[in-house]
Structure 1
Amino acid sequence: MSDKLKKPRQKIVIFASGSGTNAENIIKYFRNSEEIEVAAVFSNKKFSGALERAHNLKVQALHFDRKAFYDTHEVLNILKDMKPDLIVLAGFLWLIPSTFIKTFPNKIINIHPALLPRFGGKDMYGSRVHEAVIESKEKESGITIHYVNEKYDEGNTIFQTSIPIEDGESAQNLASRIHKLEYKHFPEIIQQTLQQQDK
């Protein structure tokens, strides 16, 4: 196929607040893809690991504050210009404004380190989730990938998978095992979601 007839690559924009291991994993997964590219990583934390990882992998890295996100629509306007096919929340802790959801309907997805609807909602992230799961003496945990709506962790589920909790397992060990699930499945589900959009 000639270059003129090649379809433009579908664009992902990642939002992350923390260390950025999921963001890095996604970037590397699509690094050599001819169909999909990670166009940028956005973070609300100026010195987040996510921005450093993006910079090291030569992906555009952008920091923003609460005013630019919620009040001035600066971040939304940048996204409108970029025209992403999918916005991926990979450990992003702020609630997404309704203006984003209306502008990008069914184009914002999130990963949560538990089996929603249990152990979701505001302030349920990171180690807090795994500690709550262990304290509740659950038999299993896992990940949920879902569309984003105006409430924390309540959008329609795209994918879930689970693992059994081992006897006497610590929250730290469970977190490590859940991370492996995220790294394995999140890029695959992103790819499948984009392929569905493209049909």
Structure 2
Amino acid sequence: MQFLAHFSPFCADNNLYMTKNIAIFASGSGSNAENIARYFQENDTVKIKLIVANKSDAYVLERARNLGIPSVVFLKKEWDKADNILAVLKENDIDFIVLAGFLLRIPEAILHAYPNKIINIHPALLPKYGGKGMYGDNVHKAVVAAGETESGITIHYVNEEYDKGEMIAQFTCEVTPADTYETVAAKVHALEYEHFPRVIKEVLNTESQKH
């Protein structure tokens, strides 16, 4: 485990913090989005207010319905302009954005509206195996093909470049010669489910302490 940004992993909960409204952006199945939503279900200071998808058939929308979380779909042409997206985020009083398996580049207009308030999880140890096209099984296949002895996850802030924002935390898992990309994927998913929600909470706690 390695924390890289400027916050302590041992911040105490403080029920006096103002509630933070979170939007989760996702493109596919949404297992991480559901895991995050369930983690915060009983939290009085963090509310998963909205699920935003870029595909109308993304299974994350079904997960959102099952969880009772409002969802909205914006197709690619709307991401290019971003005006409608920003309007919906404002209508829902969104304070913070979490990318959980979201595959589009975030428009500059959204980055400017949410400076240092958008975080992403990447299924490898950045700066290795990052950048455009490096997502999902593409990453795990590259890790195995390179003979790496470890992989893991990187949680980082989002900027204008794919996977280049300031790192917040990394968590590692072993990769053995017997591993396939599928077994590496399973190890990495386990790290995602265990650590991503908790790191989100720590980032939000630190944000609250600044105000």
TM-score range normalised by the length of the shorter chain: over 0.9
Number of aligned residue pairs: 195
TM-score by length of 2: 0.89
Q: How does 1:24-103 map to 2 (within 5 A)?
A: 24-71=34-81, 73-103=83-113
Which one of 177, 191, 198 corresponds to residue 201 of structure 2? Answer: 191
- SS of structure 2 residue aligned to 1:75: helix
Tell me how far apart the structure 2 counterparts of residues 29 and 195 of structure 1 sit (CA, whole Å): 15
Tell me how far apart the structure 2 counterparts of residues 194 and 8 of structure 1 sit (CA, whole Å): 10
Structure 1 range deviating more: 167-176 or 81-90:
81-90
Which one of 109, 121, 124 corresponds to residue 134 of structure 2? Answer: 124
Q: Specify the code of the residue in structure 2 equivalent to 1:81.
A: E
Identical counterparts, % of pairs: 45
TM-score by length of 1: 0.94
Gap runs ≥5 in structure 1: 1-5
Which one of 125, 137, 152 corresponds to residue 115 of structure 1? Answer: 125
Corresponding residue of 2:191: 181
Q: Is contact 2:147-2:177 (8 Å) kept?
A: no
Q: Is contact 2:26-2:51 (8 Å) kept?
A: yes
Q: Specify the code of the residue in structure 1 equivalent to 2:137.
A: S
Q: Is contact 1:17-1:93 (8 Å) kept?
A: yes
Corresponding residue of 1:136: 146
The verdict on how the C-alpha distance between 1:137 and 1:7 changes in structure 2, with shifts beyond 3 A counting, is closer
Q: Specify the code of the residue in structure 1 equivalent to 2:126.
A: L
Tell me how far apart the structure 2 counterparts of residues 23 and 53 of structure 1 sit (CA, whole Å): 8
Q: Deviations over 1:68-99 (max 9, x none)?
A: 22125111221123232210000000000111
- Aligned CA RMSD, in angstroms, stands at 1.4
The verdict on how the C-alpha distance between 1:143 and 1:72 changes in structure 2, with shifts beyond 3 A counting, is closer
Q: Is contact 1:85-1:194 (8 Å) kept?
A: no
- SS of structure 1 residue aligned to 2:91: helix
Q: Is contact 1:147-1:155 (8 Å) kept?
A: yes
Q: Deviations over 1:149-186 (max 9, x none)?
A: 00100000000011110222000011011000000000
Q: Is contact 2:150-2:173 (8 Å) kept?
A: yes
Tell me how far apart the structure 1 counterparts of residues 181 and 17 of structure 2 sit (CA, whole Å): 45
The verdict on how the C-alpha distance between 1:75 and 1:144 changes in structure 2, with shifts beyond 3 A counting, is same
> Structure with the greater relative contact order (CA < 8 A, sep ≥ 6): 1 or 2?
2
